[in-house]
Structure 1
Amino acid sequence: MAPLLHTHQIHPRATLNRLHFLLYSLSLLLLLYHHTTTPSSFLLLLADVFLAFMWLLSQGFRWRPVRRWEFPELLSKVTASKDFPALDVFICTADPYKEPPVGVASTALSALAFDYPSDRLSVYVSDDGGSDLTLFAFFEAAKFARCWLPFCRENGVMERSPEAYFQSGGCDGEAEEMKVMFESLKERVDCAMEKGHVDLNLVNSLEEKEIFKTWKNFTRKDHPSVIQVLLESKKDKDITGHPLPNLIYISREKRPASLHNFKAGALNTLLRVSETMTNAPLILTLDCDMCSNDPHAPQRALCYFLDKDFSPNLSFVQFPQRFTGLNINDIYNGEFRRVFTLGEQGLDGLQGANYIGTGCFFSRRSLYSSPPVAMPSFDEFKLQSCLLSSELVLLKAHEAASSEYEHGRKEWGSQIGFRYGTLVEDYYTGYMLHCQGWRSVFCNPNRPAFLGEAPKSLVDAISQSKRWFVGLYQVCFSRYCPLLYGCRKISMLAGFCYMYYALWGCWCIPLTIYGLLPQLALFYGKSLFPKASDPWFFLYAYLFLSTYIQDLIEFMEVGGLIWRWWSEQRMWLIKGISSSTFGTLDFILSQIGCSALGFNLTTKVQKEEENKLYENGKFVFSTASPFFVSMGMIAIVNVISFIFGFIKAVRRIGGLDEMLIQLFLSGFIMTNSWPIYEAMFIRKDGGKMPESVTKASILLSSILLYLGNFYFT
Structure 2
Amino acid sequence: MADELFVPLYEKIARKNTIQRSLDITLLFLLVSLLGYRLFCLNNHGLPWFIALVCELWFTFNWVLVVNCKWSPVEYKTYPENLERRFPELPNVDMFVTTADPVLEPPIIAVNNVLSLLAADYPADKLACYVSDDGCFPLTFYSLVEASKFAKLWVPFCKKYKIQVRAPFRYFFGDSEPSSTDGNLEFQQDWLKMKAEYEVLARKIEEAARKSVPCDLTGDFAVFCDVERRNHPTIIKDDTLLNEFGNSEELINSAVQALKGKKGFPNNLSNSLEAACKVASCSYEYGTSWGTKCGWIYGATAEDLLTGLKIHAKGWNSALHMPELPGFMGCTPSGGPEAMAQQKRWATGLAEILVGKNCPIIATLTAKLQFRMCLAYLWILFWGLRSIPQLCYAALPAYCILANSHFLPKVEEPAIWIPIATFVTYNLHTLREYLKAGLSIRAWWNNLRMGSITATSAYLFGLFAAILKLLRISETVFEVTQKDQSCDGDDPDVTKFTFNESAVFVPGTTLLLVHLISLLCLSSKLPTPVHDMHGVGLGEVFCSLWVVLCFWPFLNGLFERGKYGIPLSTILKSAALALLFVHFCRT
Residues 1:158 and 2:164 are matched in the alignment: yes
CA gap of 1:188–1:449, structure 2 versus 1, over 3 A, is: closer
Does the 8 Å CA contact 1:632/1:676 hold for their aligned counterparts?
yes
What is the SS of the residue equivalent to 2:330?
A: strand
Corresponding residue for residue 311 of structure 1: none
Corresponding residue for residue 99 of structure 1: 105
- 1:231-284 CA distance string (max 9 Å, x none): 15xxx224657423242324255352475663333233323331xxx11xxx6x
Residues 1:631 and 2:504 are matched in the alignment: no
Does the 8 Å CA contact 1:619/1:687 hold for their aligned counterparts?
yes
Bigger mean CA offset, 17-26 vs 41-50: 17-26
What is the SS of the residue equivalent to 2:243?
A: coil
Aligned-residue sequence identity (percent) comes to: 26
Q: 1:501: how far off?
A: 1.6
Residues 1:441 and 2:319 are matched in the alignment: yes
Q: Which runs of 5+ in 1 are unaligned?
A: 204-208, 284-363, 369-410
Does the 8 Å CA contact 2:234/2:257 hold for their aligned counterparts?
yes
Read off the aligned partner of 2:92 and give its amino acid letter.
A
Corresponding residue for residue 243 of structure 1: 249
Distance 1:700 1:211 in 2: 56
Residues 1:61 and 2:69 are matched in the alignment: yes
Does the 8 Å CA contact 1:610/1:620 hold for their aligned counterparts?
no
Residues 1:139 and 2:139 are matched in the alignment: no
- 1:63-113 CA distance string (max 9 Å, x none): 222211112233354345xx3222112211211222222221222122222
What is the SS of the residue equivalent to 1:441?
A: coil
CA gap of 1:166–1:238, structure 2 versus 1, over 3 A, is: farther
Does the 8 Å CA contact 2:294/2:307 hold for their aligned counterparts?
no
Does the 8 Å CA contact 1:221/1:256 hold for their aligned counterparts?
yes
Distance 1:442 1:230 in 2: 34
Q: 1:197: how far off?
A: 2.1
Corresponding residue for residue 544 of structure 1: 423
Corresponding residue for residue 321 of structure 1: none
Distance 2:536 2:214 in 1: 71
Residues 1:554 and 2:433 are matched in the alignment: yes
Distance 2:142 2:502 in 1: 36
Distance 1:213 1:12 in 2: 61
Corresponding residue for residue 285 of structure 2: 365
What is the SS of the residue equivalent to 2:95?
A: strand
- 1:619-655 CA distance string (max 9 Å, x none): 233x223222221211121122123335547526852
Distance 2:13 2:95 in 1: 30
- 1:127-148 CA distance string (max 9 Å, x none): 2111111111121122222222
Q: 1:438: how far off?
A: 0.8
Corresponding residue for residue 473 of structure 1: 351
Q: What aligned pairs does 1:310-459 form with structure 2 within 5 A after superposition?
A: 364-367=284-287, 413=291, 415=293, 420-446=298-324, 449-455=327-333, 457-459=335-337
Read off the aligned partner of 1:8 and give its amino acid letter.
K
- 1:351-372 CA distance string (max 9 Å, x none): xxxxxxxxxxxxx32456xxxx
Does the 8 Å CA contact 1:35/1:45 hold for their aligned counterparts?
no
Q: 1:15: how far off?
A: 4.0
Corresponding residue for residue 474 of structure 2: 595
Corresponding residue for residue 155 of structure 2: 149
What is the SS of the residue equivalent to 2:131?
A: strand
CA gap of 1:651–1:198, structure 2 versus 1, over 3 A, is: closer
- 1:639-673 CA distance string (max 9 Å, x none): 22123335547526852785122111111112222
Read off the aligned partner of 1:110 and give its amino acid letter.
S
What is the SS of the residue equivalent to 1:214?
A: helix
Q: 1:471: how far off?
A: 1.0
Does the 8 Å CA contact 2:135/2:258 hold for their aligned counterparts?
no
Q: 1:433: how far off?
A: 0.7
CA gap of 1:483–1:272, structure 2 versus 1, over 3 A, is: same
Distance 1:434 1:591 in 2: 26
Aligned match for 1:506, one of 376, 385, 389: 385
Does the 8 Å CA contact 1:264/1:418 hold for their aligned counterparts?
yes
Residues 1:193 and 2:209 are matched in the alignment: yes
Q: 1:687: how far off?
A: 1.6
Corresponding residue for residue 9 of structure 1: 13
Corresponding residue for residue 183 of structure 2: none
- 1:310-329 CA distance string (max 9 Å, x none): xxxxxxxxxxxxxxxxxxxx
Residues 1:40 and 2:46 are matched in the alignment: yes
Does the 8 Å CA contact 1:609/1:686 hold for their aligned counterparts?
no
Aligned match for 2:240, one of 231, 238, 241: 231
What is the SS of the residue equivalent to 1:243?
A: strand
Distance 1:562 1:193 in 2: 40
- 1:30-62 CA distance string (max 9 Å, x none): 245335454332333322222222222222222
Q: 1:413: how far off?
A: 4.8
CA gap of 1:24–1:536, structure 2 versus 1, over 3 A, is: closer
Distance 1:639 1:102 in 2: 44
What is the SS of the residue equivalent to 1:248?
A: strand
What is the SS of the residue equivalent to 2:97?
A: strand
Does the 8 Å CA contact 1:252/1:269 hold for their aligned counterparts?
no
Distance 1:35 1:10 in 2: 43
Q: 1:437: how far off?
A: 0.9
Give the TM-score taking structure 1 as reference length.
0.73
Corresponding residue for residue 221 of structure 1: 230
Aligned match for 2:461, one of 559, 582, 595: 582
What is the SS of the residue equivalent to 2:582?
A: helix
Read off the aligned partner of 1:477 and give its amino acid letter.
V
Q: 1:568: how far off?
A: 0.8
Corresponding residue for residue 182 of structure 2: none
Read off the aligned partner of 2:97 and give its amino acid letter.
I
Corresponding residue for residue 643 of structure 1: 520
Q: 1:198: how far off?
A: 3.4
Residues 1:690 and 2:556 are matched in the alignment: no
Q: 1:476: how far off?
A: 0.8
Read off the aligned partner of 2:532 and give its amino acid letter.
G
Aligned match for 1:668, one of 519, 542, 546: 546
Distance 1:512 1:18 in 2: 24
CA gap of 1:523–1:539, structure 2 versus 1, over 3 A, is: same
Q: RMSD across aligned C-alpha pairs, in angstroms?
A: 3.0
Q: What aligned pairs does 1:107-186 form with structure 2 within 5 A after superposition?
A: 107-168=113-174, 170=177, 172-186=188-202
Does the 8 Å CA contact 1:229/1:249 hold for their aligned counterparts?
yes
Distance 1:428 1:580 in 2: 19
Matched positions, count: 567
What is the SS of the residue equivalent to 1:452?
A: coil
What is the SS of the residue equivalent to 2:537?
A: helix
CA gap of 1:417–1:648, structure 2 versus 1, over 3 A, is: closer
CA gap of 1:120–1:258, structure 2 versus 1, over 3 A, is: farther
Give the TM-score taking structure 2 as reference length.
0.88
CA gap of 1:138–1:241, structure 2 versus 1, over 3 A, is: farther
Distance 1:544 1:120 in 2: 52
What is the SS of the residue equivalent to 1:451?
A: coil
CA gap of 1:72–1:481, structure 2 versus 1, over 3 A, is: same
CA gap of 1:36–1:485, structure 2 versus 1, over 3 A, is: farther
CA gap of 1:416–1:509, structure 2 versus 1, over 3 A, is: closer
Read off the aligned partner of 1:700 and give its amino acid letter.
L
Distance 2:531 2:56 in 1: 27
Corresponding residue for residue 309 of structure 1: none
Corresponding residue for residue 563 of structure 1: 442
Does the 8 Å CA contact 1:610/1:687 hold for their aligned counterparts?
no
Distance 1:212 1:525 in 2: 70
Does the 8 Å CA contact 1:149/1:238 hold for their aligned counterparts?
no
Distance 1:413 1:28 in 2: 49
Does the 8 Å CA contact 1:613/1:620 hold for their aligned counterparts?
no
Read off the aligned partner of 1:270 and give its amino acid letter.
A
Corresponding residue for residue 273 of structure 1: 279
Read off the aligned partner of 1:637 and give its amino acid letter.
V
Does the 8 Å CA contact 1:132/1:198 hold for their aligned counterparts?
yes
Does the 8 Å CA contact 1:222/1:253 hold for their aligned counterparts?
no
What is the SS of the residue equivalent to 1:651?
A: coil
- 1:160-181 CA distance string (max 9 Å, x none): 2222222236264222222222
Distance 2:12 2:586 in 1: 59
